[in-house]
């Protein structure tokens, strides 16, 4: 709880897990973000299909979310504002998980829009939920190592 | 979610006050830049407006979608029940495979809309071109059956295509017959498209 705790050397396992988490989370989110940025109208339609948001948020979310994904992923990958980046990606992933659960509970049949038109990888259901939970673990691992300025 | 929040809180709790403030500052920067850039995208993108157009039809999630599938005629549940079992009528389930495996209309063929284009590219469907097709997906707000019906017409598989009004939910609500099991690719002799493809 004090500054002295942060001066202890970071365990190697934490550094290794942190790097693995950074690479996994950033690559997934950069890929997802670029596809959505290239076709925001299609992503807006995907958001509408969730039947969970008022219509005035569809285009706004379609424009903002992919950019947040991209910036968060770049922060995680480069290490510049890394922890803030992991918090952004973690929040988005938690939101996705909540949406997936709501879709499963409501029995709606749709694609998540996570990766644009790559439908086979994007059908909303339990496999997608597991994938996002795995992604959340990677993001958590990316968060753990202290940032250099903390040392 | 609670566990993650707990871990994050504990980790943040180990930071000094200065580090916490720096983290908050970084977070605000990322969110702020995302918002500003997102608004810029809204301003310049021809397909996006600040406020998306509301659905033209209450309950239809894609009524205002820019990529509008061609309209396909509807068939009521009562009429569809009357057509059940007739050899010239093929029911096509557009939902995902595991929904089909859980329960479906007797004799229905499973063609998940997500895979439909690829399947149609691979081979022709065992549907008589002069027959009738009734597609269905989850409910009234589901566009998968509409899309699949339009695709079947476009590919000249069958011209007499209709969408089950209210979809699977209306069918179940009407207590119409259903079957379940993992005969995913159809329990009618002619409904083995994906089986053949696989």
B44 alpha-carbon distance from chain centroid: 30
| Interval B11-57: pLDDT, tens | 666 677 888 888 888 889 999 999 999 888 888 877 777 666 665 54
The nearest alpha carbon in chain A to B21 belongs to: A84
Q: Residue B181: pLDDT band by 50, 70, 90 thresholds?
A: low
The nearest alpha carbon in chain B to A88 belongs to: B27
Domain, as residue range, for A51: 11-146
Domain ranges of chain B: 2-44, 73-197
Percent of all residues in chain A with a pLDDT value above 70, rounded to a whole number: 83
Q: Tell me whether residue A110 is in a domain.
A: yes
Closest residue to B38, CB basis, from A64, A119, A136: A64
| Interval A46-67: pLDDT, tens | 888 777 888 888 888 999 999 9
Q: What CA–CA distance (Å, rounded) separates B109 from B49?
A: 40
pLDDT at B190: 36
Write out chain A residues lying below 8 Å of B22, CB-based.
Answer: 149
Total structural domains within chain A: 1
Please tell me if residue B102 touches chain A, with a CB cutoff of 8 Å.
no
- Cβ–Cβ under 8 Å, residues B81 and B174: yes
pLDDT, average across residues A33-38: 90
Q: What CA–CA distance (Å, rounded) separates B75 from B80?
A: 6
Closest residue to A58, CB basis, from B19, B41, B52: B52
pLDDT at A47: 84
Write out chain B residues lying below 8 Å of A40, CB-based.
Answer: 41, 45, 47-48
Write out chain B residues lying below 8 Å of A5, CB-based.
Answer: 14
The nearest alpha carbon in chain A to B19 belongs to: A150
Please say whether the dihedral angle defined by the alpha carbons of residues A111, A114, A119 and A120, taken in this order, is positive or negative: negative
pLDDT at B9: 58
> Minimal CA–CA distance to A89: which of A15, A22, A150, A147?
A22
| CB-based contact B64 A55, cutoff 8 Å | yes
Q: Tell me whether residue A6 is in a domain.
A: no
Q: Which of A132-146, B53-67, B156-170 has the lowest mean pLDDT?
A: B53-67
pLDDT at A108: 72
Q: Tell me whether residue A71 is in a domain.
A: yes
- Whether the predicted pLDDT of A149 surpasses 50: yes
pLDDT, average across residues A81-98: 92
- Whether the predicted pLDDT of A94 surpasses 80: yes
Question: What are the C-alpha distances in Å from B133 to residues B93, B110, B129, B196?
Answer: 10, 13, 9, 20
Closest residue to B30, CB basis, from A40, A84, A136: A84
Mean pLDDT of chain B: 75
Q: What CA–CA distance (Å, rounded) separates B32 from A136?
A: 23
Angle subtended at Cα A129 by Cα A54 and Cα A32, rounded to the nearest 5 degrees: 70
| CB-based contact A55 B54, cutoff 8 Å | yes
- Whether the predicted pLDDT of A114 surpasses 60: yes
Q: What is the CA radius of gyration of chain A?
A: 17
Instruction: Take residue A48 and report the two structure tokens written for it.
Output: 């509408």
Write out chain B residues lying below 8 Å of A72, CB-based.
Answer: 30
Instruction: Take residue B50 and report the two structure tokens written for it.
Output: 């600040």
What interface predicted TM-score (ipTM) does this complex get?
0.79
Ranges A35-49, A75-89, B98-112, most confident: A75-89
Please tell me if residue B144 touches chain A, with a CB cutoff of 8 Å.
yes
Q: Tell me whether residue A2 is in a domain.
A: no
- Whether the predicted pLDDT of A39 surpasses 80: yes
| CB-based contact B4 A71, cutoff 8 Å | no
Please tell me if residue B6 touches chain A, with a CB cutoff of 8 Å.
no
Alpha helices by DSSP H, chain B: 2-13, 17-44, 77-83, 97-102, 113-122, 144-154, 167-173, 193-197
CATH level 3 topology of B73-197: Oxidized Rhodanese; domain 1 (3.40.250)
pLDDT at B160: 87
B18 alpha-carbon distance from chain centroid: 48
């Amino acid at each position: 709880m004090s500054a002295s705790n942060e001066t202890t050397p970071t365990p190697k396992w934490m550094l290794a897990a942190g790097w693995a988490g950074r690479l996994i989370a950033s690559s997934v989110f950069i890929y997802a973000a670029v596809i959505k940025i290239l076709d925001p109208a299609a992503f807006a339609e995907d958001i509408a299909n969730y039947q969970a948001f008022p219509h005035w948020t569809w285009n706004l979310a379609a424009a903002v979310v992919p950019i947040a994904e991209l910036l968060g992923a770049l922060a995680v990958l480069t290490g510049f504002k890394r922890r803030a980046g992991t918090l952004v990606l973690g929040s988005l992933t938690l939101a996705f998980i909540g949406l997936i659960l709501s879709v499963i509970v409501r029995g709606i049949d749709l694609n998540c829009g996570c990766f644009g038109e790559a439908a086979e990888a994007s059908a909303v259901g339990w496999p997608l939920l597991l994938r996002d939970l795995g992604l959340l673990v990677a993001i958590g691992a990316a968060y753990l190592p202290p940032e250099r300025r903390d040392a | 979610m609670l566990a993650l929040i707990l871990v994050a809180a504990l980790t943040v709790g180990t930071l000094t006050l200065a580090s916490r403030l720096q983290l908050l500052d970084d977070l605000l920067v990322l969110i702020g830049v995302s918002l500003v850039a997102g608004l810029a995208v809204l301003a310049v993108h021809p397909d996006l407006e600040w406020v998306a157009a509301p659905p033209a039809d209450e309950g239809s999630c894609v009524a205002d979608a820019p990529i509008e599938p061609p309209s396909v005629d509807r068939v009521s549940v009562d009429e569809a029940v009357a057509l059940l079992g007739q050899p010239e009528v093929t029911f096509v389930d557009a939902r995902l495979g595991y929904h089909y495996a859980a329960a479906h209309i007797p004799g229905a063929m499973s063609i998940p809309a997500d895979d439909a284009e690829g399947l149609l590219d691979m081979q022709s469907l065992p549907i008589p071109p002069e027959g009738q097709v009734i597609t269905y997906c989850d409910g009234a707000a589901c566009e998968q059956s509409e899309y699949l019906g339009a695709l079947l017409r476009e590919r000249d598989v069958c011209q007499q295509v209709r969408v089950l009004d209210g979809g699977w939910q209306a069918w179940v609500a009407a207590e119409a017959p259903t079957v379940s099991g993992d005969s995913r690719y159809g329990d009618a002799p002619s409904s083995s498209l994906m089986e053949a493809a696989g």
